[in-house]
Amino acid sequence: MTAIKSRAALKMDVSIIIVNWNTCDVLRNCLVSIYENTKDIEFEVIVIDNMSSDNSVSMIKATFPQVKLIENSENRGFATANNQAITAAKGRYILLLNSDTVILDNAISKTIRFADNHPEAAVAGCRVLNPDRTLQPTCFAFPSVLNLFLWTTCLSRLFPKNRFLGREHMMWWNRDNVKEVDVVTGCFMLIRHAAIEATGLLDERYFIYGEETDWCYRFKQAGWKIMFTPDADIIHLGGASTIQVSLKMTLEYINSMLFFFKKHKSRLSYTLACLLLSICLFSRVPFWLVRAACSKKVRTTSMQRAKNCTVGACRALFGVLAR
């Protein structure tokens, strides 16, 4: 793997990295918002295109010639593509930014200012809003057998505001104060270059989902903090790339979750996670089959979901990971 630049080679405040796959229109809006709402800092924008079939590449070349564009000949996934850019980045901070985000009111500069004031933080995140400006509950706790049990039994969704039952996604917290958290969501994730240099790049065995959780876990294991600031806001549309292959993403999410348990937790925890996920997924198969039988309109999608639940349950039950 290509070496990370040494701190002596860093010449600017932040390298803004965007991985793109067929999100031309939202990517354009994201780039406009960066250049219009990022003041008082020196920055570069690096876009890694994972072999888009839309007009993303031509749009960037025609409209944003200042963007550093990396064109991949295949979809290399989120972690690998980000690592490509990180190894070429010149910023003392790295900002992982989704293409379906909109930067508001100098949010990047504000988050950098916060990180400068908290040198113990490897990662800093800001407030994330839905398009209607309601709060999007980013930041969450590390996966655990207890958190997985609360999710598979739907207790976390039935009682999201309860501090214990809703503990994983911290729905009881209004994101209105500075807080140390476990995980900052990867749609806007500011990482200190020195922490990357000390801890390493993203684990490329994650294709999509789980890579930021794994990274935050490794940063914490190395003694760094993961911090949240309410002083900066962005808008996140959500799922612009993954919605295009949403059914496949169900299996990717299961793979990533189980891989995290296998990599970081005990054998018992991994086994329990496999059992919980398999029971949860198997229990959903009858629902999708009944729905397919009752409605021609959603028959194809429902049958595909039933298939995905079955495949995912089998993978979980036997601990079969495509890694």
> Which pLDDT tens digit goes with each residue over 218-257?
999 999 999 999 999 999 997 544 444 455 677 788 888 9
Which structure tokens are listed for 187?
């749609």
Give yes or no for a contact between 232 and 114, defined as CB atoms under 8 angstroms apart.
Answer: yes
Task: Quick: pLDDT tens for 84-139.
Answer: 999 999 999 999 999 999 999 999 999 999 999 999 999 999 999 999 999 998 89
Q: What is the pTM of this model?
A: 0.89
Q: Which residues contact 107 (CB under 8 A, 6 or more apart)?
A: 37, 126, 188, 232, 233, 234
Residue corresponding to tokens 């922490």? 195
The CATH homologous superfamily to which domain 7-139+175-240 belongs is Spore Coat Polysaccharide Biosynthesis Protein SpsA; Chain A (3.90.550.10)
Residue 7 reports pLDDT greater than 60: no
pLDDT score recorded for residue 246 = 57
Closest CA to 30 of 64, 54, 65: 64
pLDDT score recorded for residue 108 = 98
Residue 253 sits at φ, ψ, to 5 deg, of -65, -45
Which structure tokens are listed for 79?
């972690």
Domain residues of the chain, as ranges?
7-139+175-240, 247-318
